[in-house]
Amino acid sequence: MMPQRIRLQHEAAVRHPTSIIGCQVRREPPNSTQRYTRWINQLAPDQLLTQVFTSHGPTVVMPTWFCSRAWFSHVGPFDEGGRGVPEDLLFFYNHLRRGGGVVRVDQSLLLYRFRPGAATQAILESTIWTHRVCFLEERALRHWATFTIWSAGRQGRRLYRSLSEGARRKVIAFCDVDKKKIKKGFYCYEEAQERPKPRVPILHFRAARPPFVICVKLAPLQGPRLGHVLVEDVISTGLEIRHLRTGTSSAMLGMALRCWLLAHARGANLEKSPNYGESRSTLRTPSRDQGWS
């Protein structure tokens, strides 16, 4: 821990009493979880809230957290269920549910050591996925009448199968850029109990209707195909595109609220926006290598 950490984070906590205050970190060894480290250090202030659905987990890493005792007590204690429980993720979600904000002091104030045998390595990816999908449904999907899943690939289909029955019924289509997937025309949910089994259309992305849940990696969003198209579409709405900047991470954007923002810009009729505490930038901006420790 750097000697100025407590002072700087305390000053930020006084200004933001209902926020978790994080900071940038320096990794040890320096080359461990490089993409994840870039992600937690380089997120823009608004992205600390708009990227809470990604596979990386909390947008400020738990060893850097700083908040008042009063706010900690308001949110509630950590889940002490033991090995295999993502207690930081669960606390972070509860914090957001109670209207908390997320702030990062943009100085490297912590030496963040990577240990291959850390307890967090025992947390199953499937456990984290289940919590993420539930949080996505709670905070976004329940406000939408219908939506499109962007990606007819493995992650898009996995998301569809993981949704509750009510949320699955809201999926009007998959969309993609892959000609083979589009040519197939539909995805059949073989595990479904109902008859006939649901067949969800697979459309070219330009024919799809927002809002979207985007299930592609961040890195391809910078690429010459999908990245160019998304930037072009977002610019046409007059919105900022900070979330598309190069080099933020290649983590799976299984859940991204920027899809809500894009939908909002295109005139989708949404009942209400989720409450994300102090920041309101999500209303105007569209917006883990594995290893949380």
Q: Give the tens place of pLDDT for each residue, 123-167.
A: 888 899 999 999 999 998 999 999 999 999 999 999 999 999 999
- Residue 244 pLDDT > 90: no
Residue 271's pLDDT is 34
Local structure of 22: helix, strand or coil: strand
Distances (CA, A) of 115 to 33, 82, 84, 122: 11, 19, 16, 12
Cβ atoms within 10 Å, residue 220: 16
The pLDDT > 90 percentage for the chain reads 48
Strand pairing partners for 104? 22
Residue 218's pLDDT is 60
What is the C-alpha separation between 56 and 34, in angstroms, rounded? 13
Give 58-79 pLDDT, tens digit per residue.
999 999 999 999 999 999 899 8
Specify the pTM.
0.74
Distances (CA, A) of 38 to 65, 79, 210, 216, 248: 18, 28, 30, 19, 6
- Residue 20 pLDDT > 60: yes
102-111, 230-239, 251-260, 281-290: which has the minimum mean pLDDT? 281-290
Residue 119's pLDDT is 67
The pLDDT > 70 percentage for the chain reads 72
DSSP string over 83-145? TT--HHHHHHHHHHHTT-EEEEEEEEEEEEE--TT-GGGGS-HHHHHHHHHHHHHHHTGGG-S
